Amino acid sequence: MIEAERLLQRAAVLIRLPGFPDQIPEILPGGMGVRCTIIGREFPFRDGVLDLLPDDGQRTFSRRSLDTFLTAWFYDVSRDVILRFAGQPDFRTEVARGQCPREDSATRPPGDPESRSLRAEDA
């Protein structure tokens, strides 16, 4: 069995197809992608990425502008500088913040003195 096909076989029960989240997809021969068994739509598996995004609809100006190598490169190298001038965090800081666990009463263990959960005697 081809490596891509093996990966898709393992992931098939976890994949949620657009419009049919309860349907387990069929694996295409050779690990080329998956197919919806209801409508027959195929989703390609290229370079280790299963493409489930729809291709239909009008592309906005901003989406089209990043389709060229030059504009995508310029955005990539200038993003952090532009965001810094706008008072926003750089990409690494933004990602790090998104991956940190939240410090609130829902994530603290019961009985933690720092917890702000409402107790019966506080009411």
Largest CA distance in the chain: 64
DSSP code for 49: E
In a domain, 71, yes or no: yes
In a domain, 28, yes or no: yes
In a domain, 22, yes or no: yes
Residues of the chain under the 70 pLDDT cut: 1, 56-57, 99-123
In a domain, 107, yes or no: no
Q: Is the pTM of this model over 0.75?
A: no
Range of the domain at 7: 3-50
What is the rounded distance in angstroms from the CA atom of residue 16 to the CA atom of residue 22? 7
pLDDT digits (tens, 9 = 90+) for 103-122: 554 445 555 555 444 444 44
Do 22 and 45 lie in one domain? The reply is yes
**Count of domains forming the chain:** 2
Give yes or no for a contact between 53 and 41, defined as CB atoms under 8 angstroms apart.
Answer: no
**Between the CA of residue 100 and those of 65, 68, 87, 108, 117, what are the distances in Å?**
33, 34, 21, 14, 21
In a domain, 114, yes or no: no
- Which pLDDT does position 34 carry in this prediction? 94
Do 44 and 7 lie in one domain? The reply is yes
- Which pLDDT does position 123 carry in this prediction? 40
- Which pLDDT does position 101 carry in this prediction? 55
- Which pLDDT does position 62 carry in this prediction? 76
